[in-house]
Amino acid sequence: MNNLLYDDFELWLKTGIEFNKFKNKTFMVTGATGLIGSLIIKTLLYLNKEKHLNTKIIGVIRNVSKARKIYGDLTYDDKLSFTVSDLAKDKINLDEHIDFLVHAASVTTSRYLVESPVESFDVAINGTQRVLEFAKEKKVSKVIYISSMEVYGNLNLDRMATEDDLGYIDLKNVRSVYSEGKRICELLCKAYVSEYDMNIVSARLAQTFGAGILPGENRVFAQFARSIIEGKPIVLHTEGNSEGNYVYTIDAIMAIFILILKGQSGETYNIANPESHTTIREMAELVASNFSDNKSKVIIDIPNDVQNYGYAPDTHLWMSIEKIKKLGWIPRNNMIDSYAKMISWMRENNI
């Protein structure tokens, strides 16, 4: 495992999170080859090594070879196993007891969302219901559903957005299968809490980036960093007016662990770094000025077929984290820190 991740884990290990409560427990993580799922599993394996937790981890995957590439030597850790399941059409078949389940499986590629909206919606809705049914049957102690800031839609607030605020989602835009799907899944989690008395918490994540991003990552933050590494201009395919909410990778992972330990059933919690709130254009300028030695300039180049790129519509959103702060979590890495660590990670891992 890369030293950058070890350093982040070490810092959080000193914060007093009660990781010992995971001792001898079993975790299941869906979306184990995605960013959030893979980092949760890598964190648990690190905790096993450093704190001797004897935690067992089961990753739900669709592609075994992809999992082996992402986990490398960790694939052979005796506390990690994988079960293959396509949540859009398969039930999870597993006889083992599960204590904690993190449902992180989701379609996140913008182009796929607009090219295959039916399949994307199927993964979101039917996949989540299959996971919740599995958790119900297994009497899982706690489920964390990984949601997204996109559930907010378009808001026009003169203050920071709390978890109770919701805006407009354009149902004429096929890209909305992602945001509307996340919104429906949050409600589905609430329904299972209400009808079956399950312990389910939704984690509403801001855009998450930093050390630990995966090969093939092509979201805007990775594109900006790649331009810096290659000494090329940072090219925006929109005006860059959309306001982004961001959080560093390992900060987000630790927030999820705090929700496992302290999050209240049926509730939703924002996970973001309010200090990293910025527009896309401002972020591009910040990256260019801080990391390129004036070699990379920001260029606006809007293609005629921009709709086919699947970009989310412009939003004006600034997420409040007051609710999760009451549980003891605060982000530790600002925008500059996040980019510095991500660029180092990408260079070291040839991403």
Percent of the chain with pLDDT over 90: 87
pTM for the model stands at: 0.95
Which residue type, as a one-letter code, is found at position 333?
N
- Does residue 196 register a pLDDT over 90? yes
> What CATH number did the domain enclosing 123 receive?
3.40.50.720
| β-pairing verdict for 142-148 and 246-248 | unpaired
State the average pLDDT for the chain.
Answer: 94
The range of the structural domain enclosing residue 259 comes to 3-210+247-273+316-333
Q: Are 160 and 274 within 8 A, CB to CB?
A: yes
Residue 284 lies in a domain: no
Residue 48 lies in a domain: yes
Q: What pLDDT was estimated at residue 294?
A: 78
Structure tokens at 280: 């896309």
Residue 345 lies in a domain: no
Q: What pLDDT was estimated at residue 302?
A: 83
Residue 106 lies in a domain: yes
Q: What pLDDT was estimated at residue 293?
A: 86
CA distances from 319 to 132, 201, 204, 312, 337 (A): 27, 18, 10, 17, 20
Whole-angstrom Cα distance, residue 70 to residue 106?
17
Q: How confident is the model at residue 337 (pLDDT cuts 50, 70, 90)?
A: very high
What is the domain count for the chain? 1
Cα angle value 317/220/182 (rounded, 5°): 50
Q: How confident is the model at residue 107 (pLDDT cuts 50, 70, 90)?
A: very high
Q: Of 309 and 336, which is predicted with more confidence?
A: 336
Contacts of 287 (CB under 8 A, 6+ apart): 224, 225, 228, 234, 296, 339
